C-alpha cells in the first residue's frame, strides 16, 4: 500500500490536527491517545517545499532565488511566513535593512552593466 504524508492541518478549517492513533510497522502495536504533530507537519505544502529548497541550498538566498525564479524580497517574505508559521516572531526592522541593502546592490549592478547611467543610479539610491 502506498504511504501518504500525514496531514498537519484540517482541510476544512485549517486548524492544527491531533494524531490519535499510532501503529508500529513491524509488530503492529497500536498506541491511542491525543498527540501533537510536529511544527513542520503543520506547514502548508508550499511552505514545506520552500523549506526544502532553502535547506538544500544551505540558506543561500541567492541560490534559492535562482532555483525558484523569484526575487530577494519574495524569498525573504516566504522565509518570514515560515518563521511565523513555526511560532517565532519576525523582526521586520532587520528585513527592511536587508531589503534596502539588496536594492542598493541591484542599483550598483545595473550601473556596472550599463543598464542605467550614474545620474539614474544616484537618483535611485536617494530614493527619488
3-state helix/strand/coil string of the chain: CCCCCCCCECCCCCCECEEEEEECCCCCCEEEEEEECCCHHHCCHHHHHHHHHHHHCCCCHHHHHHHHCCCHHHHHHHHHHHHHHCCCCCCHHHHHHHHHHHHHHHHHHHHHCCCCCHHHHHHHHCCC
pLDDT confidence of residue 94: 64
pLDDT digits (tens, 9 = 90+) for 43-80: 888 999 999 999 999 999 999 999 999 988 899 999 99
pLDDT digits (tens, 9 = 90+) for 81-123: 999 999 999 876 666 777 788 888 888 888 899 989 988 888 8
pLDDT confidence of residue 121: 87
Q: Where are the chain's structural domains?
A: 1-42, 44-90, 92-128
pLDDT confidence of residue 91: 78
Amino acid at each position: 500500500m502506498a504511504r501518504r504524508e500525514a496531514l498537519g492541518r484540517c482541510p476544512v478549517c485549517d486548524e492544527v490536527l491531533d494524531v490519535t492513533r499510532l501503529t508500529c510497522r513491524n509488530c503492529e502495536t497500536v498506541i491511542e491517545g491525543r498527540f501533537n504533530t510536529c511544527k513542520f507537519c503543520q506547514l502548508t505544502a508550499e511552505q514545506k517545499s520552500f523549506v526544502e529548497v532553502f535547506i538544500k541550498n544551505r540558506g543561500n538566498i541567492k541560490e534559492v532565488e535562482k532555483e525558484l525564479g523569484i526575487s530577494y524580497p519574495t524569498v525573504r517574505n516566504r522565509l518570514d511566513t515560515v518563521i511565523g508559521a513555526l511560532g517565532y516572531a519576525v523582526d521586520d526592522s532587520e528585513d527592511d535593512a536587508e531589503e534596502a541593502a539588496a536594492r542598493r546592490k541591484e542599483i550598483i549592478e545595473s550601473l556596472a552593466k550599463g543598464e542605467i547611467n550614474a545620474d539614474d543610479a544616484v537618483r535611485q539610491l536617494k530614493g527619488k
